[in-house]
Amino acid sequence: MALPIAQLLAWLLSASGIAPVRTSASRLLRSLVATVTLIAAGHAAAHDPFDGGTQVMLFEDRIESTVTLGTDAARAVLEALPLSTGEVVALTRPPRERVFHELPVALADKLIQLRIGGDPLKVSRFAVLGGDEEIVFLVVNTRPGTSATRLTVQAAYFAIVGPMRPGPVLVADGTTRRAISTALVSTERPAAEVPTVPGAKETASHSQSFVDFLQLGLEHVLSGTDHLLFLGALLLGTRRLKSMLVVISAFTLAHSITLAMAALGLVNLPARIVEPLIAASIVIVCLENMFFRGRTNLRYALTFTLGLIHGLGFADALKEAVAGASGAALGVPILAFNLGIEGGQLMVAAVAVPLLLLSRRHPVWDRRLTLLLSGVITLIALVWVWQRL
């Protein structure tokens, strides 16, 4: 991988005229190869489009919990169980090759624990269901005949996986599929106490829920290298402040539309399609930067169209929390999560826009930097496309 990357970067350096002196070019080339390789490889290892989410379905005699984890997180959990290497490999194969697999019920508490009144609920079944790009676990608990209206959900997987983005918890009626409550669990707060009947008093207020989902949206965009590079590539090819503001607004409008539609279940594309498309969208924008500069209307149309794809990626972190929800349980997470995303974008733009406007004062170097940086970002995105296919 490093050799073709080096050859392409050498061409970019030559085309941009950034490093005309051979020793400088060689030094810069080595640095760029290392940067591209580290970002692409690091993102592939760290990026989990589905970090973690839990749906808890309440039936009269049982509670069925489906825990959705990204492949990396799921592998960490499985490796912590007394399973053979062959079993772990089989359970984390590509989606089409995975099989349904029953696991010993005694191991379920490594993944999730349910308690009522401080007493743990008996586990009657523990299995791996498969999934798309993610891996889905099923845990079935016996529901005791009690009048208790509160349930504690302990996301035990945080203790194994370590730092990861907060995960939504949705509690719903198993028969009607109607949501009862939502919450967030995280490394710092792995347990959530939630009501088990509609209308029961929430432990956390809607304002706290709003703050939690606001933070989730902020963390999602700031930790999503692909979304950040897409935004950076958009701004890199935009010449004026007014155009930058229009681009940011078009991206915001587009991803807000598909985020809401996907979260509501109106649009549903699997991650194996969305994730490569997100990476490809970065390539498209960078190619436009390099070969079709100055076409403002084209930039606006591209931004809106490709922003629709990114909205589907954003929604993956939210769908678990709002499936079957209505009223405040639906509106609060979507609004807060989207505002968190916008806040993250504005933070990035507040740093990038002044630097880019300063660069515009030096047209020759500005053109060279635009070509070089767009080329580097293209290489990173192409690696991601290849990895995600």
pLDDT tens digits for range 273-282: 898 999 999 9
pTM over 0.75: no
Same domain for 323 and 180:
no
d(CA 77, CA 109): 11
Q: Are 267 and 312 in contact (CB under 8 A)?
A: yes
At 78-130, the pLDDT tens digits run 999 998 888 888 888 776 666 678 999 999 999 999 999 888 999 999 999 87
Same domain for 354 and 303:
yes
How many CA atoms, within 13 angstroms, populate the side-chain half-sphere of residue 78?
25
Which stretch of DSSP H or E encloses residue 1? none
Same domain for 248 and 105:
no
113 domain residue, yes or no: yes
Q: By CB neighbour count within 10 A (0-12 exposed, 13-18 middle, 19+ buried), where does 376 fall?
A: buried
20 domain residue, yes or no: no
Same domain for 108 and 167:
yes
Same domain for 375 and 290:
yes
Same domain for 222 and 136:
no
- Residue 21 pLDDT: 43
Last residue of a domain, one of 177, 204, 231: 204
9 pLDDT above the threshold of 90: no
Same domain for 310 and 189:
no
At 51-68, the pLDDT tens digits run 778 999 999 999 999 998
211 domain residue, yes or no: no
- Residue 199 pLDDT: 60
Among 9-23, 240-254, 298-312, which stretch is predicted with the lowest mean pLDDT?
9-23
d(CA 361, CA 189): 48
Domain around 63: 52-204
21 domain residue, yes or no: no
Same domain for 189 and 300:
no
d(CA 1, CA 380): 11
Last residue of a domain, one of 166, 182, 204: 204
28 domain residue, yes or no: no
Same domain for 88 and 134:
yes
209 domain residue, yes or no: no
Same domain for 353 and 283:
yes
**What is the rounded average pLDDT of the residues 161-175?**
85
What's the gap between Cα 388 and its chain centre? Answer: 14
31 domain residue, yes or no: no
Same domain for 277 and 302:
yes
pLDDT confidence of 299, banded at 50, 70, 90?
confident
Pairing mode, strands 52-58 and 167-173: parallel
Last residue of a domain, one of 171, 204, 237: 204
Total structural domains within the chain: 2
299 domain residue, yes or no: yes
Same domain for 153 and 96:
yes
